[in-house]
Structure 1
Amino acid sequence: MSALIPTQHPGFRPPPGACDCHMHIYGPADVYPPAPNSPFPPVAGGDIAAYLKLREVLGLTRAVVVQPSVYGFDNRATLHAMAVLGEDARGVAVVPPDVSERELDWLTQQGVRGIRFFMIGGGLLGWDDLETLAAKTAAFGWHVQLQMDGRLLHEVEARLARLPGRLVIDHNGKFLEPVGLDHPGFVALRRLLDNGRTWVKTSGVYETSRIGTPDYPDVAALARALIAHAPERCVFATNWPHPSKPGNPPDDARLVDLFREWCGSDAVAGRIMVDNAAELYDFPSPI
């Protein structure tokens, strides 16, 4: 089996309606050509057929397909994956500043609920586009999904707090160097969560951990603190197929079990995986 698919199920079985709120899908290069000079090439084996196998192993029900940087403004691979997943899918797209209302309306009808800003290198949208596109897309119920170096969050906190609509911050704040709970950027992240319009993905601990497997304790401490501080503003995600770790992906089953440990109870884990995701991404409540 591919290294992208765990060989064992997680010990914790997610409840019905559990959502993977951040994953990517890649397709054939002749159908979905990579954008020139993208720092993140397509992940071999990261296609929708493989993700369906992963979802079965992990016991997940729903997914949010996030447009990968490698495709730029071409959202076709993301939209195709959403179509395959059907009613259990939502999407986060990347659109240009001059996107028309007609295009935004069409994307909304397809299930897109957010616009992605990737500020670490390789994203097509930058800080100069933030307010304009936040206002345009908020009119269609979209949120801003933001990935940046969390060590700088306190410098842009006021600006982010003024954005219309909701804000979703990736990967526990994505501190490119693990920080303590008293770091100004982490304190700013907790304040943003307190405004009631900001959410955080408790994901990607393996990306920035300096200690590493099996528990990633330096970054896991941030995830645990965020869940304790604002469980109603956290969501779960795999970040599959782990584009920052080509050829050496983490064990997704282990990451599910780690998430459950951070939550402290099945009830908190269920709330984050099911109820929070349903509210944020406009899914119906599971029966």
Structure 2
Amino acid sequence: MPDEMIAVPHSAGTRKPAIAAPEGACDAHIHVYDRRFPMYGSPDAMLDNATADDYRLLQQRTGTQRTVIVQPRAHGTDNSVTLAAIRALGAHRTRGVAVVRPEVSDAELKQLHEGGIRGIRFTLYTSTNAATDFSMVEPLAHRVHALGWHVQLHWSADQIAAHAALLDRLPCTVVFDHLARLPQPDRLSHPACRVVSRLLDNGRTWIKLSGAYLDSAAGAEGGYADTIDVARAWATQAPERVVWGSDWPHPTERTAKPDDAQLFDLLGRWVPDEAARHRVLVDNPARLYDFS
């Protein structure tokens, strides 16, 4: 197969991106699914052909070398699937974000840290099969803060606005998933935008420039053009605290998978300046995820 044509499971198209990934570029948001490990919740949440070995094909296509694996909903709080994927992709260039509950022991947290975990995630935008809840966020944030970890939040914009006081109390670094999930059509006027913008000013809040398809009316055919305003707003306000992620294998997109080359090239529209884009892909993730 020619170098420029690489077929990847759960990804449309085969071309490489027009933008070249710089040395040390990080894909800061992927998931790995593997039936060899315990599963949680509905069997429908499971994806096949989404292992660490499958993801290597996407690395060949986009040119990224570092990776952050986010524990998927389908594997619940058994983080062994993520730890195994970190080892498979290379512990020196791979980190992970775990899902835990308050009963997690200090010994388990230490083991997770040694395995490459640097944060925990609360996927609460829908309650279906959620392994955690809002009452767990603050106590767990205090525990992982001692390890130097961050708390990653996949919440709806309405949830962000409703829990503004909770967010203010969190002691650790906070990372908002997928552009903070601001909805169309007036996303910059949503109350959550003001909450996130205020938190960005505290110096320990980050945004993932990812998930363009989640809240886009324009979609792939329209080049996700209606995401540019919010992505540029976050990248302009906190250029040193934004990272990029593919969200492969795109678990929310069950009928038609996005083109990962298009998503990578979209970063060029979100962050047009090459030096700023280098910061997003290399420098920022190295600091957030403790890459040497």
TM-score, length basis structure 1: 0.93
Does the 8 A contact of 2:28 with 2:68 survive in 1?
Answer: yes
- 1:232 aligns to what SS in structure 2? coil
Is contact 1:43–1:246 with CA below 8 Å preserved after alignment?
no
Aligned to 2:272: 264
CA deviation profile, 1:231-271 (whole Å, cap 9, x unmatched): 11111000000000024111111111111121111111100
Contact 2:176 2:206 (8 Å CA) reproduced: yes
> Residue 147 of structure 1 contacts residue 170 of structure 1 at CA under 8 Å; is this kept in 2?
yes
- 1:54 is aligned to 58
Question: Which amino acid letter does the alignment assign opposite residue 106 of structure 2?
Answer: E
Note the residue ranges of structure 1 that are not aligned, 5 or more in a row. Answer: none
The one-letter code matched in structure 2 to 1:79 is: L
Q: Note the alpha carbon deviations across 1:89-127, whole angstroms, 9 max, x for none.
A: 000001121111111011101110001101122321111
| SS of residue paired to 2:67 | strand
After superposition, what is the alpha-carbon deviation per residue over 1:115-145, rounded to whole angstroms, capped at 9, x for unaligned? 1101122321111101111111111111100
**d(CA) in 1 for partners of 2:258 and 2:229?**
18
| Amino acid across the alignment from 1:41 | A
The answer for the alignment partner of 1:35 in structure 2 is 40
Alignment equivalent of 2:171, drawn from 149, 164, 170: 164
4+ residue runs over 4 A deviation: none
Q: Distance in 1 between matches of 2:276 and 2:209?
A: 13
User: Which residue of structure 2 aligns with residue 242 of structure 1?
Assistant: 250
- Equivalent residue for 1:104? 109
Does residue 26 of structure 1 match 2:33? yes
Contact between 1:18 and 1:62, CA under 8 Å: does it hold in 2?
Answer: yes
The Cα shift of 1:191 comes to 1.2
- Residue 134 of structure 2 corresponds to residue 130 of structure 1: no
Partner Cα distance (1:103, 1:142) in 2: 14
Which residue does 1:191 correspond to in 2?
A: 198
1:63-96 C-alpha deviation (Å, 9 max, x unpaired): 0000001111111111111001111100000112
| Residue number in structure 1 paired with 2:77 | 73
The superposition leaves residues 146-198 of structure 1 with CA deviations (integer Å, 9 ceiling, x where unpaired) of: 01111342332232122111000000001354533222211221111111010
Structure 2, unmatched stretches of 5+, are 1-6
How far apart in 2 are the matches of 1:183 and 1:219? 14
Alpha-carbon distance, 1:34 to partner: 2.3
The residue type equivalent to 1:274 in the other structure is V
Tell me whether 1:211 sits opposite 2:241 in the alignment.
no
Whether the 8 Å CA contact 1:202–1:237 is kept in 2: the answer is yes
| Identical aligned residues as a percent | 41
Is 1:120 aligned to residue 113 of structure 2? no
For residues 17 and 184 of structure 2, the distance between their equivalents in structure 1, rounded to whole angstroms, comes to 28
| Two-structure CA RMSD over aligned residues (Å) | 1.5
Q: Who is 1:63 aligned against? A: 67
SS of the aligned residue for 1:181 comes to: helix
Please give the alpha-carbon distance, in whole angstroms, between the structure 2 residues aligned to 1:169 and 1:140. 19
The aligned residue for residue 85 of structure 1 is: 89
CA shift, 1:58, in A, is 0.1
> Is 1:202 aligned with 2:209?
yes
